[in-house]
């Protein structure tokens, strides 16, 4: 135990982090099992030990950002257990039709009260656009308007919203641009809410896997859903979108992405938050789109997701007294670690959020203005 403690403390010192130090990113270790666990299980052990209260920090986001900037995850050799997700991802299609429901049941079908307690009035569970504002609600409206401009939304246009969440984008496009919107989703909780949220508008929300979509649409959007498609299905996803998009139409893909092509997710995120999720690289996206679409516009605004997640975290802490009758302290620490570790990853530019505007061959080049 003494040797593992020395090794971990030495590694932390290299990135400017001290155990029981005074800086906000320094950590306080309450259980010495922490040291052997993170040497063995790396990211998974770091998250699980936080959930169990083995360590604390005044600014976990800053601590985790330093770990990523120092590439600590590459300097610590993991156990055989850490190789299994890689092998599983290589051998199996973990985002198959049957497995696609796992993330819905684990995450998106959680009580709506939890999510809606920290989201904006349009219930946007994706990156806001803090362009000229520090207010989360305004920033999320900015993001909706940004999407509307990029797809050239117009009265009478029929929009397909792939992975439509709680219906906020559909409602915005229907109210502000008089669009007809068809949303598809696999979360019963979200579908029930979205149908009521969009009542009286030309919005239809369907329980439907993206592989089963039919019909033709003037515009197609996918916001925060591509992370659940998986690298074995990227091409099939693009083929479905291509077949459903009318000639001259516009497809907007909004997704979190990673710097390098991978076949697995962060092990802690995959176990506790988004089972079978996977962040695409830009190379994987463009490879999947090759021969089907032209990339008209590429927009990286990852720093805005750092700010979004920190806003969500602040609101979550504010409403926790109203939620704690449903969730225990370990859940609270898990949710905090989720929001703060993701904020750290964006801050370290370890991951990004991208919007790509795609069109079919032969489409006149759209003007993508997003001042």
Does one domain contain both 112 and 226? yes
Q: Does residue 313 lie in a domain region?
A: yes
Does one domain contain both 63 and 177? no
Q: Does residue 90 lie in a domain region?
A: no
Give the pTM: 0.91
Say whether pLDDT at 100 is over 50. Answer: no
Say whether pLDDT at 75 is over 80. Answer: no
Q: How confident is the model at residue 109 (pLDDT cuts 50, 70, 90)?
A: low
Does one domain contain both 322 and 289? yes
Looking at the chain, the whole-number percentage of residues with pLDDT higher than 90 is 79
Please pick, among 57, 179, 198, 342, the residue that the annotation labels catalytic. Answer: 342
Total tally of structural domains belonging to the chain: 2
Say whether pLDDT at 247 is over 90. Answer: yes
Q: Does residue 29 lie in a domain region?
A: yes
Does one domain contain both 305 and 233? yes
Does one domain contain both 152 and 264? yes
Least confident residue range of 40-49, 106-115, 237-246:
106-115
Q: Does residue 201 lie in a domain region?
A: yes
CB atoms near residue 115 (< 10 Å): 20
Give the tens place of pLDDT for each residue, 199-220: 999 999 999 999 999 999 999 9
Give the tens place of pLDDT for each residue, 279-303: 999 999 999 999 999 999 999 999 9
Does one domain contain both 74 and 129? no
Q: Does residue 260 lie in a domain region?
A: yes
Question: Structure tokens of 45?
Answer: 């052990």
Q: Does residue 183 lie in a domain region?
A: yes
Residue 266: CATH number of its domain: 3.40.50.150
Does one domain contain both 221 and 309? yes
Say whether pLDDT at 91 is over 60. Answer: no
Q: Does residue 355 lie in a domain region?
A: yes
Distance CA 63, CA 348 (A): 11
Q: How confident is the model at residue 265 (pLDDT cuts 50, 70, 90)?
A: confident
Say whether pLDDT at 98 is over 80. Answer: no
Instruction: Please report which residue ranges of the chain form alpha helices under DSSP H.
Output: 2-14, 33-51, 60-69, 72-75, 80-91, 101-103, 112-116, 136-150, 168-177, 188-197, 234-244, 267-272, 282-289, 302-323, 329-347
- Parallel, antiparallel or unpaired: strands 217-223 and 245-258: parallel
Specify the pLDDT at position 49.
97
Across the strands, what pairs with 245?
217
Q: How confident is the model at residue 165 (pLDDT cuts 50, 70, 90)?
A: very high
Range of the domain at 233: 101-360
Q: How confident is the model at residue 369 (pLDDT cuts 50, 70, 90)?
A: low
Q: How confident is the model at residue 2 (pLDDT cuts 50, 70, 90)?
A: confident
Report the pLDDT averaged over residues 112-136: 96
Give the tens place of pLDDT for each residue, 169-197: 999 999 999 999 999 999 999 999 999 99
Token pair 């590694």 is found at: 11
- Parallel, antiparallel or unpaired: strands 293-300 and 245-258: unpaired
Q: Does residue 84 lie in a domain region?
A: no
Determine whether 342 is an active site residue.
Answer: yes
Say whether pLDDT at 166 is over 70. Answer: yes
Specify the pLDDT at position 103.
46
Question: Structure tokens of 369?
Answer: 């203005």
Does one domain contain both 21 and 106? no
Q: At what angle do helices 329-347 and 302-323 cross, to 10 degrees?
A: 170
Does one domain contain both 26 and 158? no
Q: How confident is the model at residue 107 (pLDDT cuts 50, 70, 90)?
A: low
Most confident range, picked from 101-110, 239-248, 261-270: 239-248
Specify the pLDDT at position 318.
97
């Amino acid at each position: 135990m003494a040797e593992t403690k020395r090794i971990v403390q030495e590694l932390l010192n290299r990135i400017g982090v001290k155990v029981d130090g005074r800086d906000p990113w320094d950590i306080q270790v309450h259980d010495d099992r922490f040291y052997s666990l993170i040497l063995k299980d790396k990211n998974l052990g770091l998250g699980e030990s936080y959930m169990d209260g083995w360590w604390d920090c005044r600014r976990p986001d800053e601590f985790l950002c330093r770990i990523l900037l120092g590439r600590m995850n590459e300097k610590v050799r993991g156990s055989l257990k850490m190789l299994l997700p890689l092998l599983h991802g290589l051998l199996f299609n973990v985002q198959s039709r049957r497995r696609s429901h796992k993330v819905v049941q684990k995450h998106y079908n959680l009580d709506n009260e939890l999510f809606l307690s920290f989201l904006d009035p349009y219930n946007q569970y994706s990156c806001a656009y803090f362009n000229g504002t520090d207010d989360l609600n305004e920033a999320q409206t900015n993001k909706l308007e940004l999407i509307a401009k990029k797809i050239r939304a117009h009265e009478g246009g029929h929009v397909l919203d792939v992975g439509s969440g709680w219906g906020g984008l559909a409602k915005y496009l229907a109210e502000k641009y008089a669009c007809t919107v068809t949303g598809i989703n696999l979360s019963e909780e979200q579908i029930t809410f979205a149908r009521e949220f969009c009542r009286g508008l030309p919005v239809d929300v369907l329980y439907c896997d993206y592989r089963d979509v039919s019909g033709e649409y003037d515009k197609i959007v996918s916001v925060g859903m591509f992370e659940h498609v998986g690298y074995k299905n990227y091409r099939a996803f693009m083929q479905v979108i291509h077949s459903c998009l009318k000639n001259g139409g516009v497809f907007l893909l909004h997704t979190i992405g990673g710097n390098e092509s991978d076949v697995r997710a962060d092990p802690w995120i995959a176990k506790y938050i988004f089972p079978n999720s996977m962040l695409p690289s830009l190379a994987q996206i463009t490879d999947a789109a090759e021969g089907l679409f032209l990339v008209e516009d590429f927009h990286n605004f990852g720093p805005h997701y750092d700010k979004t997640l920190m806003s969500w975290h602040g609101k979550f802490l504010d409403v926790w007294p109203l939620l704690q009758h449903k969730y225990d302290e370990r859940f609270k620490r898990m949710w905090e670690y989720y929001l703060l570790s993701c904020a750290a990853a964006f801050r370290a530019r370890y991951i990004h959020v991208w919007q790509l505007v795609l069109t079919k061959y032969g489409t006149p080049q759209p003007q993508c203005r997003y001042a």
